[in-house]
A = this chain, B = another copy of it.
């Protein structure tokens, strides 16, 4: 191939690639829908055999698989596709760490529609979607969340349980707020046979947690508490309260009302353990935690990816004594541990 030495202006790769970025989300979603990665792992690794296996046209499958190779999800050698390491671990349906369920929430139509209205959300300063008030039950959305997002729980939940000393196996009464799939509380229960969990969420969502607790063999130690964290009788004398991915939905004043109730429910010396996207004070690092703000802009009335100093102020304002920030060793989230005097 000849290359002529002609001077031209630079081509704006970042702009072009960003305008096309939505295509990669669509391609991965289609791969999930066709269960393409499992089919490749099971040996249907050329366009023709793969097409037959997933019930699609050879041209379509060849182009899709090539695109997934370009994106790094598969490798291609002599016309044969193989799964890249991360793909084999998380996107082969037979893997214990399978994450294909994530698309049920992260690439849902509702989520995408909220981004189609991003310009309106920027103008308004908050979500323009009808379901943006997260203080009301929205069964369809949150049941989908509970069913799809539990694969992301594993590493964070284990980290949090050890941070909270569960390996010491002392009796612990634990409130799991907005429990969703229940997997945070369930992980604490698995790490500590003397832990008793109260899982709070909307009734329809708790059905998912109940089934997960039963499947994990800790159904007798996970009590269901249906209702709103703003209204339910939370009980008292908790050693720990888990606040996983809930505070980002609300403005600061609403969070303080919520945290007042949590503070009252904890025993003296008890701790709230918050799992969140906590960007640095510059609000642009680390990238995934900081970028989470945009999802809160499109999806909530006034939620945010709050910085540690903002969380510290909210917790201190309702009486917590000390707050400590931890970075998850793997993953994009952070943990704040807040102690009651």
Contact = CB atoms under 8 A, between A and B. Distances in A.
A156 to B, nearest CB: 8
Contacts of A159: 4, 6, 8
Given A12-B99, A283-B66, A293-B66, A122 B34 contact: yes
A15 interface: yes
A285 B4 CA distance: 20
Interface in A77-121: 86-87, 89-91, 97, 99, 102-103, 106-107, 112, 115-116, 118-119, 121
Interface size range on A against B:
35 or more
Copies held by the complex? 2
A290 B70 contact: yes
Contact of A326 (B2, B25, B106, B162): B2
B67 A6 contact: no
A253 interface: no
B27 A118 contact: yes
B293 A67 contact: yes
A114 to B, nearest CB: 9
A124 interface: yes
Given A5-B329, A6-B159, A11-B332, A56 B125 contact: yes
Interface in A224-248: none
Given A26-B115, A64-B122, A70-B285, 6 more contacts: A6-B158, A14-B72, A19-B25, A22-B26, A59-B125, A63-B294
